[in-house]
Structure 1
Amino acid sequence: MSSSFFLKGKSRKIHKRKGDKINKVKPKKVSAPNLENGHESSSDSDLDLKKFSDAEASESDHETAEEKKLRLAKKYLEEIEKEEAKRAELKEVDAIEKRLQKDYLEQKGKLRVEVADGYTAPHTDDIRLVKAKEHRLTLTCLCISYDGEYVFTGCKSGTIVKWGVREKRKLGSLTYKSHSNFLKGAITSIAISSDSKYLATADHSNNVQIWDPHTLKHVHTFKGHKDIIIGLVFRRNTHDLYSAGKDRSVKIWSLDEMAYVETLFGHQCPITSIDALTRERAITTGGRDTTVRIWKIVEESQLIFNGPEGSIDVVKLLDEEHFISGSDNGSICLWSVLKKKPLWTATEAHGKENDVPRWITSLATLINSDMFASGSYDNNIRLWKVCDSYKKFIPMFSIEVVGFVNCMQFTTDGKQLYAAVGQEHKSGRWFKLSSSKNGLLIVNFPIKL
């Protein structure tokens, strides 16, 4: 019987015979391409080199050192530009957020910036009086454009002068001779809109005149008051104009439609001053009726505040919740819209003359701050700091000026104060300071904030 081909339990093995070699597979080495007669040989190593080349080795291998530096520099600049764009975007968002917060606080009357401690008394070189031949008589009023580019002044001789702040000179004028159809007697008040589109003036004609402040061309005439207009003010960031007169009324005008809107009544005596900020409200003083009134126009109501004896001649808002008033008995009062009586009163704020307190002839407030200025005829403009959470005010320093300080206004950045100065009181000719000169006083503050 023949034996089986397979052996059970035994595995088939390959036996190496003596002298035989077992070839093991070794990894191929990448070698430089062989050059034969100036041409690359198409070897396996050459194919492996091509596989090894990728996107990073494609262009950079063939560029010079200078080209590489230029490429890397461009890439670096692109990265910087991207980073700066991101930073600018974040800054813009942050600025918008801060602006919205500021507008909200201002609208609510809660924006208060404490700057008074950064002010010091100006030097003699920081104070300058400029004059114009058109202002033959006492200056009575002034207004500054919101951007601080122009100042407009009015006087008793019935003329208006436009001053350029950057040019530091007179740019033009409106006189009773050249504009006799529109200017009648002494200029009593002047106001400019926040966007510098309209200039409003009032005089002894009982009318409100509207002008283009850039060209000084006449635009419109508003008629309706029955007596001389004492004060004009634009509501901020609008073309709504408020006028107050000796006829004891406040009138509202829309310059967008060039139309009359409505009349507000309440004062028992001629109105002596008017002011307004962003809210649809106006604040007025009633002179001898010793009241200050806040007119809530939308609500068709008014708040009445009872002041000291005498005539309350001037009022200025510090913010939407606080205001300052000045009287002919020499007192300055600080008020809150939540209190019917003054929070603080400084009696005889500008001293006495012949045992009679000097009248407070003008006030100027740096809006939403803790500082204001007062004027009289004691040869000083006095600056005051509001403190103790807006419950009182204390004196800071004085600025020497000769004459009646009939009107004042700070620039919006608080770096300058402009004052209309003259030999007589703006509202009458009771007595005259002959040593004074009629002109525009410019005060530059060396602010340290």
Structure 2
Amino acid sequence: MMTVPRRDPDDKAKIDAIEQKLLSNPEIAKLIDELRTSTTDANDLVRGMLQASITRGLNAEMDAHLGYQAGDRDGKAAVGTDNHRNGSYPKTIDSNYGPVTVDVPRDRAGTFVPTMVPKGSRRLTDIDDLIISLYAGGMTIRDIQHHLATTMGVDISHETISAITDAVLDEVMVWQNRQLDEFYPVIFLDALRIKVRDGGRVINKSAYMAIGVDLEGIKHILGLWIAKEEGASLWAQVCSNLANRGVKDVFIVCCDGLKGLPEAVEATWPGSMVQTCIVHLIRAANRWVSYGDRRAVSAALKKVYTAPDEPTAAAALDEFEASELGEKYPRSVKVWRDAWERFTPFLQFPPAARKVIYTTNSIESFNNQLRKATRNRVQFTNDESAIKTLWLMICHIEDKRAAKRAKEGKRVSAQAGRLVEGGRVAGWKHAINQMAVAYPDRFDKYM
């Protein structure tokens, strides 16, 4: 996933993809500017990036070897060592893009043995890419350390592995603060429960993810947020973040009855609608129903959410409440009564549009795969670690989905794996036409 792109006849596409990934790194940004203003070959850009990233990794290895960072006098005193940095020496190694010269740090005692560029090696390895790939696949730092030692005979400290994975934090920040589209017809919101160490205790927190569908029907992951508790304050911050990044209007927000969200959405984007996920309502209603009766209850409730208008839906719910099943399971009726205000916007839409906002499955499928990937992790060390890990895992999931779409001959964006662009919503053209005709005042100025 994090491997530098191979040779491609379309150099511009390659450069754009790389710039999107590493624009926050000053050294890389300088190289990109130089490339734009000169006739330098794209391979020169890649070699420059390799040089900057490898040198950074080698310095992290030296930090782990000495036990303190460069210039940290207090750290050196705490370690109690006479060993210290002793400059560096250049070393040229071969790569897929030609020779790369890196600066290998030295220590006074001569005990530092670099792992990323081993002594005597004349060719660059992809061990840093392998580490990030394993980390994105769900392995912990300790698991990666053991895996490399047993399969490749490479002994890398967990501090060095952590430093290599931390290198993506700049990329995460660029992605998390990137500019967004002015208008999204639909935004889906959902949460994933995780355990995070906070203040010396391991507590449950929620990782919230937003997926926006643009006018072309392409799904975009808009952001990730970690919070201990949901509420009006949290959703005010989320909506404010999206608005500050360029989102001026949202037609409908589909979620699972998140507390405080409707008020935050309406305060940020007046005229927007908040729609409760129908599938979540069905599941919540069936939670109080015995297994043998669930099919019959679901069939009765189907008359409610497939009704052509609100009066017909209300009549169907009254009929269910008065039936034998309704009297047997009053809590199921109450679930729909309590959510009625946030359910009824659904009834305003024609059939094709209803299929789009019927469920938040497009975001839940992500969360299901994230749950599998985080199964090995008992806890995250902090919020930053959780964001980094989840982002890498989502990259991994997106890459696999993009590869599947390419295999099926479907449209694929060159940046799909960078969370900029995902798959297209099924039946979107029909749905957007129906919404635009039903609500011309909301869509005409953006079409």
Short-chain TM bin: under 0.3
Q: TM-score, normalised on structure 2?
A: 0.21
More helix by share: 2
> Max radius of gyration: which structure?
1
Q: Which one scores higher on RCO, CA 8 angstroms, separation ≥ 6? A: 2
Q: TM-score, normalised on structure 1?
A: 0.21
